[in-house]
Amino acid sequence: MSLWEYKVITSGKGGFATPALLEKFLNDLGRDEWEIIHYATQADNPLSFSGLARRSTQRDWTLQDAAAVAAKAEAEKLRAEFEAKFKAATSSAPAPAEPQALSYLEEKAAPDDGFRKPVDTSRDDEPDAPEEEEKDDWDKLGEEDELPTFFDALKPHMRRNQRGPGMSAGLDFLAKKWDLAEEDIKGALVECGFQIPADENAKPVYIEYDGDLFWVNINRRGEIWINTREKPRPVFRVVPGTKVAPEESAEMANGGNRKSAPAEAAGTPDAGVAPEVTATQEAAGETFKPKSQQPSKPLPAGPELLEKIRPHMRRNRRGPGGSGSTSFLARALRTTETELISSFGALGLSLPEKSGDQPVYAEFGAELWWLNKDQRGGVWINGREKKEGETLASAAMTEAAPTETGDTPAVTAAPAGEAAPAPKAETVFPAVRLLLKAGKTGTFAGETEKLAGELGKPAEEFIATLTVLGLKVPEKAREKPVFVEHAGEIFWFNRNAKGQLWLNAKASKFAEGGDGEKPKRGRSRKSGEEKSG
């Protein structure tokens, strides 16, 4: 005789919204082994129905089904015991009597009488209800497939390696983070393929996982570290080369110019342009000589030489016009420095006999050119445009602006035997002294550009006149000044933090003492440094 359980099914008053929801509902009934024995729909709405379903409560038993039922009964028994103990411990009411607890447990653990456990049908009318109960995190904790691999669990705890590329993590640090023993982690390392070195000098053994390299090392303190870095990508392919015979290597050392005459006859390339070897010349073994072995080009004569070097000169940093060193110009013109200086001598340009002597000027059109030496002995050529009404004599008198090297030439005699009057301190210093303004420290100062404007002269000419009288233009703000005494006062140049040049004056202490001793050149005065304009 069959035993059945029945269930009333209905779609509700309004019915299902779509046919898909109706089909899902009927499929769920079939999956749960329900059989529809009555089904009635409304005339105006086929998605609205009511009916009756049934399913059998008996089933065929097997050995596996019996074992599953026994295990389930045992689990239900243990769960009931723990539930009873938990309620007894947390409830303030008196614990139930022992016979009642036993009867409750016996009822829970009663043997199966052939009936299937009732199924909860309270949510069958809900179309969005989950088909089966989802596992929570507590249920997934014991599943091994949900655990990360050793390498994935290791990466979040690794930090940047301070001794090399990649990341690293200490074994003791991982033991604290994972709450495991170090021996357990060592065993996991060996199972993953790592090789733990015996000491700090052992070579590391690399293993690869997911495109990264991993290895283990021991430091001087005996600590074990796990390291990782990206696997290097190949950037080249190693191929063996061909050895060269001794005869061929000797020819290559000599430049490989077995037929250099045709190459030299073809002409010399311009300076700064790499020579090109044609296919015919390369097949015949003809190559060009390097620049160091190529013959120098002849230099032009006369003013054409100045036009040749003009593009290679730069603006003079310490005065008007341009300048250039002969060593640089010789390389640019592909000649030697000696030949270049000789060509300048043919134009009338010569070096002064001493470093402090007035340079020898030469006039070419509307320009003045001269040679001078820097502190390291290098030769420089300088040029500038002539001022209105300027001659060689006046240029020799007033040209005292610092050259490219910072050296200030002194005025001795005019070139070509022409005598020219030199500026006198008796006329220059009194005129300038009247324009200086008094300061708080007892000094008098004035900016050179403003002083030159009040005198109606260019600033370069004004500074050059004072340098001829012995003053020196400092290059830096804290450079020691050079003092010049006149009429019981000392005069000197200095620069402030903004780079402005100032002329200063102050009463001389030696003049007040009456001993007639003059201040030494190059000696710095604190008061003069404080008054910088």
Residue-wise pLDDT for 326-364, tens only, equals: 889 888 888 888 888 888 888 888 888 776 677 888 888
Range among 127-136, 272-281, 422-431 with highest mean pLDDT value: 422-431
DSSP-derived secondary structure letter, 143 = -
b/e per residue 292-330 (b: at least 16 CB within 10 A): eeeeeeebeeeeebbeebeeebeebeebebbbbbbebbb
pLDDT on residue 397? 54
CB 461 within 8 Å of CB 398: yes
User: Percent of the chain, pLDDT > 90?
Assistant: 17
Beta strands 379-385 and 367-373 are antiparallel
Confidence of residue 54 (pLDDT cuts 50, 70, 90): very high
pTM value surpassing 0.75: no
Q: Give the pLDDT of residue 1.
A: 53
- Under DSSP, the state recorded for 161 is -
* Averaged confidence pLDDT in the chain: 75
Closest by Cα among 293, 277, 296 to 285:
277
Residues ≥6 apart with Cβ < 8 Å to 78: none
DSSP tag of 130: -
Least confident span in 72-86, 99-113, 270-284: 270-284
Nearest 10 degrees: CA dihedral of 179, 182, 185, 186?
Answer: 180
Residue 224 has pLDDT above 90, yes or no: yes
Q: What is the predicted pLDDT for the residue at 48?
A: 92
Mean pLDDT to the nearest integer, 78-97? 74
Interatomic CA distance for residues 277 and 261, integer angstroms: 15
CA distance linking residue 83 with residue 292, whole number of Å: 101
Beta strands in 4-48 (DSSP E): 4-10, 35-41
**pLDDT average, residue stretch 190-210:** 90
- CA distance from start to end of the chain: 124
489-495 and 437-438 beta bridge pairing: unpaired
Residue carrying structure tokens 């300076």: 271
Query: Range with the lowest mean pLDDT among 127-141, 293-307, 366-380?
Result: 127-141
CA 263 to chain centre: 48
Place of tokens 């073994």: 285
CB of 485 within 8 A of CB of 478?
no
Phi, psi of 454 (to 5 degrees): -70, -30
Provide the β-strand partners of residue 504: 445, 492
Q: Tell me whether residue 364 is exposed, middle or buried, using C-beta atoms within 10 angstroms of its C-beta: 0 to 12, 13 to 18, 19 or more.
A: middle
Alpha carbons within 13 A on the beta-carbon side of 168: 17
| Cα separations in angstroms, 41 against 9, 16, 162, 205 | 12, 12, 77, 76
- Give residue for tokens 């030469």: 362
pLDDT at res. 311: 86
SS3 call for 489? strand
Match 């269930």 to its residue by tokens: 7
Residue 227 has pLDDT above 90, yes or no: yes
Q: What is the structure's pLDDT at 488?
A: 87
* Distance (Å, whole) CA 75 – CA 270: 100
